[in-house]
Amino acid sequence: MFVLIKNFIAKLTSDRYFYLKCRLILLNTFFSVIPLIIVITITYFLIHKIVHEEFKNNLKWQMEETRHSLEFFISERISALKFLAVSYPEEYFLDERNFSQLFYNLKNEFEGIVDMGVIDEEGIQILYAGPYKLKGKDYSQTEWFKTMLLKTDYVTDVFLSYRKFPHFSIIVKKESSHHNKFWLIRVSINIDILQKFVSNLEI
């Protein structure tokens, strides 16, 4: 009988310590793992925020660089057209061979130029050099022609027009020696040049 009681007490004591050990292990695990989870979570969100900010700043920088490059690209061609406008007399432009040579030189010097035309004060393209048949076309009702009545240079939005192909135009005004008359010198740039600038963005 004494032995049975002794065994029962020993078993009860053993079970009680086992339960206590389990509690200690669980508490130790809880207080060890929970801070670790909190640290990992905070670290994750901090890294995510840093990476996101870095990506956003890098993209912003690239977009600014692309914008500056495109602005330089356009201003360079505006300057070239203005130089042509002041450097050559009207008679020179009226000679188609001279005009074609000017276009050829300009195209070789400045990337992206597809064609070049001269539009008179009535909106009629009186000279044209390029791959399309656009001589004699009427541009008097276009938005850019109406705008050029008041401006000396202009860059259009991307549009289709007669060629049915996306492009934009750079236009400068050349004052005529005749009273209240002017010419517009226009070059067209295909849309693929814009895609080239955009493709440089590393997204």
Residue 187, domain CATH: 3.30.450.20
Q: Give the tens place of pLDDT for each residue, 8-63.
A: 555 545 555 656 666 666 777 767 777 778 878 888 888 888 888 888 888 788 78
Position 84, amino acid: L
What's the rounded Cα separation, in Å, for the pair 77 and 18?
A: 87
Task: Using the predicted structure, report yes or no on whether residue 184 has a pLDDT greater than 60.
Answer: yes
Domain count, the chain: 1
Q: Give the tens place of pLDDT for each residue, 81-91.
A: 999 988 888 88
What's the rounded Cα separation, in Å, for the pair 182 and 36?
A: 77
What's the rounded Cα separation, in Å, for the pair 132 and 158?
A: 18
Domain of 194, in residue numbers? 1-203
Query: Which one-letter DSSP state was computed for residue 159?
Result: B
Alpha-carbon distances of 168 from 21, 42, 102, rounded to whole Å: 80, 50, 20
Q: Structure pTM?
A: 0.71
What's the rounded Cα separation, in Å, for the pair 86 and 2?
A: 124
Query: Which one-letter DSSP state was computed for residue 110?
Result: S
Length of the chain: 203
